[in-house]
Amino acid sequence: MVENKPTCETSDRTQGLAGSASSANGVTEGQGTVQALQEQTPAPTGWASVGAGGGEPGSFGFWSLILTQFQGAFSDNALKWLVSFLVLGMGLAKDQRDLLFVLVVPLLFSVPFLLFSMTGGYLADRFSKRSVTIGTKVMEMAVMGVALVGLASKNLPVTAIAVFLLSTQASLFGPSKYGLLPELLPEKRLSWGNGILELGTFLAAITGTMAGGLLAKIFRGRQIWSGVTFIGLAVLGLFTSLGISQVPAANRARKFRANLLGDLWGQIREMRKDRVLWLAVIGNTYFWFLASLLLLNITSSCTPLTCSRWRRRSPACCWSR
Q: List, in sequence order, every beta strand (DSSP E) within the chain.
A: none
DSSP result, 182-218:
HHHS-GGGHHHHHHHHHHHHHHHHHHHHHHHHHHHHH
What is the CA angle 118-143-298, rounded to 5?
80
Q: CA geometry: angle at 34 spanning 244 and 273, to 5°?
A: 125
> Which residues make Cβ contacts (< 8 Å) with residue 308, sequence separation at least 6?
none
Domain extent listing, the chain: 51-260+303-317
For residue 97, how far is the Cα from the chain centroid?
A: 25
Position 303 scores a pLDDT of 54
Give the pLDDT of residue 301.
Answer: 67
- Cβ-Cβ contacts under 8 Å for 210 (sequence gap 6 or more): none
Q: Which of 105, 89, 86, 126 is nearest to 252 (CA)?
A: 126
pLDDT per position in the chain (321 positions), as tens? 444 444 444 444 444 444 444 444 444 444 444 444 343 344 443 333 344 334 454 488 999 999 999 999 999 999 999 998 888 877 777 777 777 877 788 888 888 888 888 889 889 999 999 999 999 999 999 999 999 999 999 998 999 999 999 999 999 999 999 999 999 999 889 999 999 999 999 999 999 999 998 999 899 889 999 999 999 999 999 999 999 998 999 888 888 877 777 777 887 888 888 888 889 889 888 888 887 777 777 766 665 544 444 444 445 444 444
CB 169 within 8 A of CB 139: yes
The predicted structure's pLDDT at residue 302? 63
- Classify residue 23 by its DSSP letter: B
Terminal C-alpha separation, the chain: 46
Select 51-260+303-317's CATH number: 1.20.1250.20, 3.40.50.2000, 3.30.70.260, 3.40.228.10. Answer: 1.20.1250.20
Burial call 223-241: b when 16+ CB within 10 Å, e when fewer: beebbebbbebbeebbebb
pLDDT at 172: 94
Cβ-in-10-Å burial (0-12, 13-18, 19+) of 14 comes to: buried
Q: Any bridge partners for residue 271, and if so which?
A: none
Q: Which phi and psi angles does 22 have, rounded to 5°?
A: -140, 25
Q: What is the DSSP string of 76-103?
A: HHHHHHHHHHHHHTS---HHHHHIIIII
**How many CB atoms lie under 10 A from the CB of residue 59?**
18
Are 251 and 126 in contact by the 8 Å Cβ rule? The answer is: yes
Q: Are 13 and 180 in contact (CB under 8 A)?
A: no
pTM of model > 0.85: no
Is there a contact between 26 and 206 (Cβ–Cβ < 8 Å)? yes
